[in-house]
Structure 1
Amino acid sequence: MRSFATILFLMTFLFQPTQAQSQLETEHKEKARAIIDKAMNSDLALERLTYMSDTFGPRFSGSENLEKSIDWIVETMKEDGFDRVWTQPVSVPNWKRNTESATLISPRERNLPMLGLGGSVGTPEGGITAEVIVVKSFEELEKAGDTVEGKIVLFNAEFTSYGRTVQYRLNGAIEASKHGAVASIIRSVTPYSMQTPHTGVMYYEDGVKKIPHAAITVEDAMLIQRLYDRGDKIEIHLEMNAETLPDAESRNIIAEIEGSEYPEEIIVLGGHIDSWDVGEGVMDDGGGSIASWEAARLMIELGIKPKRTIRVVLWTSEEVGIQGGNEYHRWVKEEEQSLDDHVLAMESDAGVFDPYGFGFTGSDEAFEILSEIGNLLKPIESGEVTRGGGGADIGPLMRDGVPGMGLVVDGSRYFWYHHTDADTMDKLDEEDFNECVATMAVFAYAVADIDTRLPR
């Protein structure tokens, strides 16, 4: 049964809706309109994202590029006039790709575009040349049994959904090694390819021999499958000089607009500032990070001072283990002791394509309020609130009860570019990007400023 306090709140919300609704229909509607207009007619966020991408390139965990981009963001945020800007030290993995190559040797010679998977060991000096066995699933690998010994396993798993297909990237080396393989290769995790290999993190298991693990393109995986089905003997030479160095020091970036009435109550919004070591990390997740920053900066420019504190957090090292998100959660819980005062956590990490709204995880009461706030975004049709949503970096907060929401966009092309050399500025549409900024800004502002705190 609901507690008496919850029932009382529901009665107040359901039978006396005029206060919240009148706010959203008057002052909040007016300010939301100003935020939308400013976001849609400003080039600043796009200029900053372009500058960061062009100047620093990929921002991989443990890299100088990442730390230089963090320095630039902190300096620029201070110039923007945030009430407080600081960084939070985070120890992060430090894997280096170095040189690598894959070559089809038999039945014909062909250089295979490839990317080693993050965290993989390298090959022995001189590389590995071995026969290839092709499987489409872990079940097929199990059926192959002893025939895998001494071979390179190619997992040619067709993309169905990211959650299902990524298992071959994450766990392929473990399963192949258990059967005696000397290396493993996956078909890149993507529904569409133009000879673009996709990297990403992979795992090893204690007690199982570590073998090299890499990704090739969809086209080449399908080619090898056809050769294999015809009964041809297939050999590949794989050379990877990857290495894992001692952990490096990185930083989360935190900037605040202090609340005018309830400064201890916090609305968090952000993205992860690190990227993979290929491409420029524009969609994953430079765009989400800059959009979150700009969403708060617009309020400063417009002179909007919400009742609750708005905190922008750009998390580091999401791609290789969520170290930034975990450290922020630890700090909030153990040092700041503000977990109960985190009213809402918002994240943008699905690209900055045309936004639809947010996916939300939290109480029914909060869902109703957020749905009402979504009406403020009717001018750009990006205010839909749906059940279920969040993000990797806010996941630790959400598991401790903080309501969470993730920006929902048209993701039909996201996995075309995800973790590839093709994640670059030319994939971004300025109007879509500005709508993402406006959507995050309006939700953050309204939740921070309504009289009723968003209920858990």
Structure 2
Amino acid sequence: MKKTLIALGALSLSITPTLAQSNVPISLGAAADAALEGDEIAWNFVEGITTEVGPRQAGTEAEARARDWAMDWLDANGFANVANESFEMDTWVPGDVHRASVVAPYVQNLVVQPLGNSAATPEGGLEAEIVFFPTLDDLIAAPDGSLAGKIVYISHEMRPSMDGSHYGYYGGARFRGPGIAASKGAAAIVIKSIGTDEHRNPHTGTTRFPDGVAAIPAAAMSVPDAQNLERMFERAGDTPMTLNLELNPRRLGMTLSGNVVGEIVGSNPDLPPVLLACHIDSWWNAPGAFDDGAGCGIIAAAALNVSKTGQPLRTVRVLFAGAEEVGLWGSRAYSAAHIDEPIAVGLESDFGADRIWRFESNFRDTNPDLHIKIAKSIARYGVANSTIRASGGADLNISRDQKGAIIDLQQDGSRYFDLHHTPDDTLDKIDKNQLRQNVAVWTQVVGILANEPLPILTGGVKPSAPATMEQ
């Protein structure tokens, strides 16, 4: 890969090399256990990028600074073949006006944030009757044309869960709700944030409008404000509720984003590499410590720890994907650029920084010996084996497109959706001990994979399910 030249400008990067290590290799188990006891590599990464770059909206100058920072960090820590693989994307930005207020029959301001791909309201706001749908299914059942000129409000009953399963179900209010409301004639939509916290922090995120359906203003309301709005509906009874909503997002057209890659080079160039993925962008409203600065720190630390055990057989490649939050632009671009280059196995870290509790692969049945070997090796870290078939994180399009081997190291998501896509996604939320457990588990798993001489996916496997639009 040809390294893209970048202007580092006046970046004051506190990224002193963390590869100060002996030339004498240590065992894989020792490397993993040492990570559990005191690994600082992942913390070094996430602390640095959140402190020196901060929020990293896809396609913007801030994301470009994050790529520069990450490349310099990888270089300083001894990675080879560090590169920025750029691509173009259609870029949406949120603007600086995000407000909502009930104007009748009660008067009260409410806290909102625009959803990705939202249209703008007229200057001064859009004022209209707001209609309440307790669930997405209730909105789907509304007759076509029945919402003309109205503002839709959708609620849900999302709750914390270790595996994050509520997100896939209740997230439809955000993924699909605005497009459905627009197709039925709504003038705008506000959703109860897809989150589980009790703070007045709206959870943003991308939405999509179907082909042929024009975008409408779309916003997420903080959970407490949404609960307050629902109480107003209950008290108002049959009296119409009126909302004023003002948003000023805009589209910038095509701008540059990019994927940052780096490698720990293996000794056998004929063996396909192990791909470790995360995403480097975040939403504009957060420094992105959990989502996904920690993930990038975890995979980089694992790769470096494996290098401490001696040169692996297979190359270990890290992929810091760009523009994940807004529609997997980087994941799709990476797959398109490298589809003819076989990947041995893909893994992604993109669910925060809390402990890993479950191991999944998509080769349990076709390569049971390797699956069991990995499962046994990480049981000492409190990680359970599973019969669930891994489908991979959002930035592993290439593994799915190649119908290749995938591993999911499932993290405890009990508090993830308290922070997800909010201003609360900050460094202080990371528990160093749980972060170290992630690094230890990843080190153990990646070390086994990187030194596996035989094909990882043997026999045959059904194509993995496609990723959701974002995690």
Query: TM-score surpassing 0.5?
Result: yes
Q: Secondary structure at 1:115's aligned position in 2?
A: strand
Contact 2:35–2:436 at 8 Å: present in 1 too? no
TM alignment of 1:92-103, pairs within 5 A? 92-99=89-96, 100-103=98-101
Deviation at 1:354, TM superposition (A): 1.0
SS in 2 for 1:388: coil
Please give the alpha-carbon distance, in whole angstroms, between the structure 2 residues aligned to 1:179 and 1:83: 53
2:360 and 2:388 in contact (8 A); partners too: yes
What SS is found at the alignment partner of 1:68? Answer: helix
Asked whether the equivalents of residues 98 and 242 of structure 1 are also in contact (C-alpha less than 8 Å), the reply is: yes
Question: What is the aligned partner in structure 2 of residue 62 from structure 1?
Answer: 59
Partner of 1:409: 411
Q: 2:167 is matched with which residue? A: 162
- Within 5 Å, which residues of 2 pair with 1:284-295? 284-295=291-302
> Match of 1:350?
351
Alpha-carbon deviation of 1:365?
Answer: 3.3
Say if 1:40 and 1:365 are closer, same or farther in 2 by CA, change over 3 A.
farther
Amino acid at match of 1:427: K
Moved more, 287-296 or 376-385: 376-385
Q: Does 1:79 align with 2:67?
A: no
* Aligned partners of 1:357 and 1:439 also within 8 Å: no
**Equivalence for 2:46:** 49
| TM-aligned CA distance change 1:379 to 1:140, over 3 Å | closer
In the superposition, the TM-score normalised over structure 2's length comes to 0.85
- For residue 205 of structure 2, what is the aligned residue in structure 1? 200
- Separation in structure 2 between the aligned mates of residue 37 and residue 385 of structure 1, nearest angstrom: 26
Cα distance in 2 for partners of 1:77, 1:147 equals 55
Q: Please tell me the residue identity of whatever aligns with 1:218.
A: V
Partner of 1:12: none
The answer on whether the counterparts of 2:364 and 2:371 sit within 8 Å (CA) in structure 1 is no
Write the letter of the residue equivalent to 2:250: E
- 1:380 Cα offset (Å): 2.3
Distance 1:449 1:385 in 2: 23
After TM superposition, the structure 1 stretch with the greater mean CA deviation from structure 2, 285-294 or 176-185, is 176-185
SS across alignment from 2:58 = coil
Residues 131-146 of structure 1: pairs in structure 2 closer than 5 A:
131-141=129-139, 144-145=142-143
Mapping for residues 287-436 of structure 1, pairs under 5 Å: 287-300=294-307, 302-333=308-339, 337-339=340-342, 342-362=343-363, 364-382=365-383, 384-389=385-390, 390-436=392-438
Report the residue type matching 2:68 in the other structure. Answer: D
Runs of 4+, deviation exceeding 4 Å: none
Deviation, structure 1 residue 393: 1.0
Q: 2:242 maps to which residue? A: 235
Instruction: Indicate the SS of the match to 1:364.
Output: coil
Instruction: For residue 29 of structure 1, report the CA deviation from its aligned partner.
Output: 10
Gaps of 5+ in 1: 1-27
How many residue pairs were aligned? 423
**1:444–1:44 Cα change, 3 Å:** closer
Match of 2:30 among 25, 30, 33: 33
Q: How many Å separate the matches in 1 of 2:66 and 2:304? A: 18
Q: Return the letter of the residue paired with 1:249.
A: L
Provide closer, same or farther for how the CA distance between residues 177 and 365 of structure 1 changes in structure 2, counting only shifts above 3 A. closer
When residues 307 and 142 of structure 1 are mapped into structure 2, their CA distance, relative to the original with a 3 A threshold, is: closer
Identify, as 1 or 2, the structure richer in helix: 1
Runs of 5+ consecutive residues of structure 2 not aligned to the other structure: 1-24, 160-165, 459-471
Residue pair 1:274, 1:285 contacting (<8 A) in 2 also: yes
Q: Who wins on radius of gyration, i.e. which is larger? A: 1
Describe the SS at the equivalent of 2:310: coil
State the shift of 1:357 in Å: 4.0
Alignment map for 1:99-178 (pairs within 5 Å): 99=96, 100-141=98-139, 144-145=142-143, 147-159=146-158, 161-178=166-183
Cα offset, 1:250, TM superposition: 1.5
Aligned to 1:9: none
Contact 1:383/1:439, CA 8 A, preserved across alignment: no
CA RMSD of aligned residues (A): 2.1
Q: Distance between the aligned counterparts of 1:383 and 1:142, measured in 2?
A: 39
What is the alpha-carbon distance in structure 2 between the residues aligned to residue 222 and residue 240 of structure 1? Answer: 21
Shift of 1:115: 0.7
Offset at 1:368? Answer: 3.5
CA contact 1:60–1:274 (8 Å) conserved in 2: yes
Is the Cα–Cα contact under 8 Å of residues 263 and 315 in structure 2 kept in the other structure?
yes
Q: Which residue of 2 aligns with 1:244?
A: 251
Q: Percent identity?
A: 30
The 3-state SS of whatever aligns with 1:70 is helix
Q: Structure 1 142/76 Cα, relative in aligned 2: closer, same or farther at 3 Å?
A: closer
What is the Cα deviation at residue 84 of structure 1? 2.0
SS at match of 2:344: strand
Residue 128 of structure 1: CA displacement? 0.3
Contact 1:376–1:383 under 8 Å retained in 2:
no
Matched, 1:438 2:440: yes
Q: Deviations over 1:211-247 (max 9, x none)?
A: 1010102222222222223314321111111001112
Whichever residue aligns with residue 294 of structure 2, its letter is: G
Residues 454 and 102 of structure 1: CA distance in aligned 2, closer, same or farther (over 3 Å): same
Deviates more, 1:253-262 or 1:440-449: 253-262
